[in-house]
A and B are shown apart, each in its own frame.
Chain A
Amino acid sequence: MSSFLTSEEERARKVRRRVVFTLAAATVTVLAVFFLLTLRRLILPVLIGSLFAYICRPLIAYLRHRGMPGSMAIFTLFAGFCLLLYTLISLGARVIPDKKGELELQIRARYKLNQRYEKIMGLDHDRDGNIIYAAIGREVAPLMASIDRALMLSAADHKLVVAMHRQGEGAGFVERYWQYHLQNRKRDRGRIVTTGKGQSVRQGILFLPGPERSGILFSVLDAVSLWLLTPLVFLILLFDHGRLRKGMVRLVPNRYFELTLTVSARINQALGRYLRGTALECFLVGTSFFFCFVLIGLDLKWAATIGIVAGLANAIPFLGPAIGLAVGLLYAIMAEDVHPILPFSAGDDLLLAVVAVVALVQLIDNALFQPYILGGAVDLHPLAVTIGVIGGAILFGFGGMLLAVPVMMIFRVIVSTLFEQMRAYQII
């Protein structure tokens, strides 16, 4: 068609084309930023679905290469995922307590936490505190007070506990927790006597208002409906067979076509190496936690739950081990009737044993898993990782922390490869 145009017309056409492309790019950028900000809550479910599809793509390719039709391969994989999810939800449902169990846990946590705190600080048996209390007591006390307040029962829950206790031992409340509850109540009354200067009795008793059930229900439904996007995105991207990528490449001018493919291949390689490495590392860390926790006396159900949480959290640099430690310590504080396979982790030693387990698993992770599995997959400066993770947390919360490293890695690969390839293609 352009052969009918004079050179002057051809030049004018090029200018017009440049203006149209620039305007289109600017409009798309503005719209992308607008939607990114307004639909921020959708980003995480969509990204997780995309990441799963990305991870599963080689598996689908393998099944198709083995002769399985594409649709059947995808449905087989999706069915496998549903089964895995069902198993995890079943495990979760067993771990998540019912109302009675929730109350027992709350009472037990509060009682044990205070008991251990007083013992460590030397405040038990009417003592005035030991050297630790003298050193950090003033700083730790407000934190403990706020945790204690968070664990307090609401007025409605207190009535429920009393009613359950009246029902009798079989169907009602376990006697031990009833005793804990009485101790907690005694502590509340004690607080009125010791700290009640100017405080009203209502504040002293510290019955908390009951939670707004409808609010929680609505927020849970809201979150669930958002996360329904994840399997949908997963399925759509798998059925896409690379059409989306091809469509995006089609938008690239011919001059940059091979360059774009080269850059995307490098990103694909780096991201694939990171995701596969991280997934394997998280699995090994979680499994190590599980076996070590079983050795120090945690029952299988809790060892598996904490292992899964600590393993998943391990994907977050720096903060992951802290999350594993926090969850482990929380359980150790509340644990009762521990029967360790190893002899030294009973009773009060369980806290130390959990710290030792976290330290040991981190040592194995740093010395063995990371060098051999991840290798040089994450070649980012620790300062950049720290700032990136904190920035991700500020912008997108937990998901932001999780996705900070892969996003930074993609950015780094784009910048380094783009400049190298633009020179090679004589563009700059």
Chain B
Amino acid sequence: MRKIVLILFCLICFICCEISFSQFEQNKLDSALALALKCMKLTKEDLSLRNDYVEVDIFRESLINYLMKHPLKTISAAELWLDLNQNCSSATNLYFAARDFETGLAMKEEDLRIYLEYFRPDYSPILEFPKEKKIFKPEIKGVFAGLYTKMVNNDSSIKARVAKDEVLYKKSKENYLKTYYTKIGSIKQKVLPIILEDVNDEFKSAEQLDLEQKSEEELAKQLIDLTSSVYHEIFSYNAGATMHSAEALLSRAKRPNLLELPKKSKPNDIIWSQKTSIGEFILGGKGSSHYTGSPALIIDLGGDDIYELSYDSTVSTQVIIDLGGNDTYKALTDFCLASGFFGTGILIDEEGDDIYSGKNFCLGSGLFGVGILLDKKGNDKYFGDTFTQGAGAWGIGILADLDGADNYNGALHAQGFGGVAGFGSLIDKADNDNYFAGGKYKDILRYKEHYLSLSQGFSYGIRPYMSGGVGLLLDYAGNDGYVTDIFGQGASYWWGWGCLYDKEGNDFYQAFQYAQGSATHMTLGTLIDGAGDDIYSSKGVSQGCGHDWACGILLDNSGNDNYYANDLSQGAGNANGIGIFIDQAGDDGYYVKSKTNTQGYGNPRREYGSIGIFIDMLGKDKYDGNGCDSCWWSIDSKWGVGLDLEMK
């Protein structure tokens, strides 16, 4: 509780006050912005958006409402998330940081009444440890049992809460499971067609696509009613306790004296397993093991293991702890590997060069649940399709990789994705990493040969019914490469906030459209690069671009950087949007193809204007476009300005 209060206090300090990065830097930034605004007869207060251009739906995050009114605070909020995770090295810390960050300044009270009144957890059969083999010493036995209790609590809590408003349940407690499965089945049926894309869309007729769109709209409406009582907060407390217990067990399991293991490893080194009311518990030895099915708990003590797991709706809580070896994790179905779907999925891998191969909803995925994947060491490879690698909707999804040069590969809604009422974050703490998202689902609306990404610090809402959430990608160090196609890299669509924060290293950002600090339709997108000589390349609606009452910001704090774009980029506001581009230091190069809507451009719409601000604060810079070194400029747009300053 103290931790929560502390984190909240930090949140208030950081977001409400302007102390995010050094006061000096902030003052310089403020002064530069004030100058730009003066050129356009505007004030700082004009850099604000409303939170009610359309009706505020029940899924709107309070944080989004606040940031819409104060879009510049997205910079402070990103700094906060970076600071909160700076020393996070456990799944529990990551989880609580995410939960508190996302619920922000308006945490809701937990309604425990239904749970306490109607439900009693079922602990049977009591966990039995094998007596004859004496594998478990008393100390670890207690921790093991503790985790079991927490997992049972988590499982029962979820089921009771999901079923809580059903009349049937209240009349007959015995039917709660039936009610629970009916309800999650119904939600699943409605939510999956909305989230998942179809590779065959490009071959469908206009009538077919229209029909599908109408059907999805109908499903979305039904989903509002169904899910309004199944808020993600309901998963919070027991998920946290489960994580805490899992990590307690992890630390005990690492001590050599607490487990009495066979002297020789077997080919398939599974030492103990037991079926429980919440799924199978398995202990694997230090040799190579092969795990299959859907166990509730796997603790593997070492060796190069193979996990080929599948989803089972009866297992709501799954914990996988692997202490070492180069492991291969393979999902045979969706909702597998650190996937919380009406439940909690935790995967902690202590070391080794691992391969994670997921399908949809995997590798730190929280859809109506919590999914956390924590990989502590090694050069790892992550593969997933849709909703993967730190993705959350009506829940929390986190993928944290603390060390090693890693490769991340996803198709859609990946690598720090926040869907409706969701929080998703990918956190990579070290080394040179590569991020790729896209290449599978064509953006048939706009192009014949480009693919949707909606990834890498991206948030997405279901227009016009449900607001998006928060999607954050943090990379602390290394020379990294980021590749997306349509929508990505600190961007968002419909009442959310997507942010990519790369703290240091010489990075390469490549995208095609709606990317690199871009926001479209009443929403927020932020890309911050702390240090290094970086290269940014995108076709358009990118690099500090806001479209339709939205604000996109690209902030690069230092380094000699190069920026390439075709159009509507580098400080461009479109249709009453706000686009802000700021490079604080370094000798930079700016290259645009179209001079008419870039580098400080704001066009008129709805009888007034959009705002486009381009600022380079220091350095000898080269321009192929509208600007020039040490000069100010304006183009023939309603409200746009460019300033090349020398603020030492």
Q: Do A and B bind each other?
A: no
Interface residues of A (CB under 8 A from B): none
Interface residues of B (CB under 8 A from A): none
